[in-house]
Amino acid sequence: MKDKTFLMIPGPTPVPESVLLSMAKHPIGHRSTEFSAVLKRVYEDMKLLFQTKNDVLVFTASGTGAMEAAIFNLVNPGDKVLSLVIGNFGERWAKISEMKGAVVTRYTVDPGCAIDPAEVKKILDADVNKEYKIVTLTHNETATGVTNDVESIVKIIREHGALSVVDGVTSLGALPCKMDEWGIDVLISGSQKGFMIPPGLSFLAASERAIKVSEECANPSFYFNWKQNRKSVLDASTAWTPAVNLFVALDTALQMMKEEGLENIWARHARIASAIRAGVKAIGLELLVKDEKVASNAITAVLPPEGISVPDIRKTIKKDFDIVVANGQKELKDKIFRIGNLGFVSDRDAITAIGSLEASLYKLGYKFELGAGVAAVIKTLAEKA
């Protein structure tokens, strides 16, 4: 059957019909008053999503573009950067920093673990000459389904004096992330995750402190230039021709998000992810993240049962039930599969996902109490309703 595919990967994520249809309208002129009105709303609403008073820049680019926008406007060759790495996307901060000429120190933990704030404090306390200019970290690591305690870590970074640069690609619009309250210096995100629109836009907000540092940056990016893009936010315009249709889609999605309310959105993600975790465990499968306190409420990484391979599970659930779950990345490839519940995902989808996972494992010959997963999902959803 065609057109039945349902994405439960950590992006792209499902997109509401009203958003798809608004995106399919004829493009409007990007210098028109109509589009300026769209931009005005989007720039305003993004502040709510970022929980900040700072301007939020919107780039026509994927999340990696916003990461480049952060680093290429801050780092000068030779600058020292500390990268806190808990997975593939934490490593990306390090690589981009090196590309701009930074001297990067990585602090890496095992896949499935979070950064212990106490360890960060130790490292930064040891940096008595305050050589670290920037500390990069990931809020919600897409590769492993771990959520870092950004609030505590950023507080420590601030006490040291370095700038905190945080990847909120799979956290914004899904998990609480409070830029101003937590004191984050640079926060970035992407459209195809909690924002319920297709990939193609990414976002960046910077604190006054960070903006000051950016003014001393040699050879920054032109396309991702902070100064040029900030000027455009003030004018309710964009520096370059934007992906007009994606901005219109974003505008539609942000109105939906405001109607639901941020707190409700966060609670929904927490409820559905808890239900998925409970379901997975009830089937007898192991979670990659052992410490439930740091388990992501947007992405759940699952180990396959012995004797059944990740590719077989992914193939079966796709072929028989039209659900796409993600493989692991790099060294985690074929070792885990990842179920996303980012954005436009409802309680019903948790039942669907675990029910279809049960059916797929049943077909692949795994022995377990059929229905136990769905039962655990239903109970958890009811408890957290």
Q: How far is the CB of 165 from a second copy (least distance, A)?
A: 14
Should residue 335 be labelled a site residue for a second copy when binding is judged by CB under 8 A?
no
Using CB under 8 A, which of 43, 72, 337, 366 touches a second copy?
Answer: 72
Nearer to a second copy, 202 or 296 (CB): 202
Q: Site for a second copy (CB under 8 A): which residue of 52, 73, 148, 192? A: 192
N-to-C CA span, the chain:
34
User: Cβ 29 to a second copy, closest distance in Å?
Assistant: 5
Q: Does residue 96 belong to the site contacting a second copy (CB under 8 A)?
A: yes
Q: What is the secondary structure of 241-253 as a DSSP string?
A: ---HHHHHHHHHH
Show the site string, 226-265: x = touches a second copy by CB under 8 A, - = not.
-------------xxxxxxxx-------------------
Contact 246, 202 (CB under 8 A): no
82 - beta bridge partners? Answer: 105, 135
Exactly one of 39, 43, 55, 63 binds a second copy (CB under 8 A); that residue is 63
Residues 103 and 240 sit within 8 Å (Cβ to Cβ): no
In whole angstroms, give the CA distance from residue 170 to residue 258: 18
> Cβ 142 to a second copy, closest distance in Å?
10
For the beta sheet containing 326-327, the strands, ordered from the edge strand earlier in sequence to the opposite edge, are 286-287, 299-303, 337-340, 326-327
Per residue in 205-242, is it b (16+ CB within 10 Å) or e — as a string? bbbeebbebbeebeebbeebbbebbbebbeebebbeeb
Q: Which of 18, 25, 44, 125 binds a second copy (CB under 8 A)?
A: 25
Q: Which of residues 126-185 bind a second copy (CB under 8 A)?
A: none
Tell me which stretch binds a second copy (CB under 8 A): 96-104, 132-140, 146-154, 284-292.
96-104
The site that binds a second copy (CB under 8 A) totals a number of residues, namely 60
C-beta of residue 154 within 8 angstroms of C-beta of residue 166: yes
To a second copy, the closest distance from the beta carbon of 161 in angstroms equals 25
Minimum distance, C-beta of residue 148 to a second copy, in the bound complex (Å) = 21
Judge whether 114 and 144 are in contact, CB under 8 Å: no
Q: How far apart are CA 233 and CA 236, in angstroms?
A: 5
Site membership for a second copy, residue 336 (CB under 8 A): no
DSSP 8-state class, residue 295: B
Q: Which residue number, 184 or 249, has a Cβ lying nearer to a second copy?
A: 249
Choose one: 18-26, 41-49, 255-263, 299-307; the region binding a second copy (CB under 8 A): 18-26
Vertex 39 angle, CA 36 and 43, to 5°? 145
Residue 50 CB, shortest distance to a second copy, in Å, is 20
Q: DSSP letters along 299-325, please?
A: EEEEEPPTT--HHHHHHHHHHHH-EE-
- Out of 121, 223, 266, 267, the only residue in the binding site for a second copy (CB under 8 A) is 223
Structure tokens at 66: 């916003």
Contact 365, 309 (CB under 8 A): no
Binding span for a second copy by CB under 8 A among 10-18, 49-57, 258-266, 371-379: 10-18
Does 221 help bind a second copy (rule: CB under 8 A)?
yes
Q: Which residues bind a second copy (CB under 8 A)?
A: 3, 5, 7, 9, 11-15, 20-21, 23-32, 60-65, 67-68, 71-72, 77, 95-96, 99-101, 190, 192, 198-200, 218-225, 239-246, 324, 326
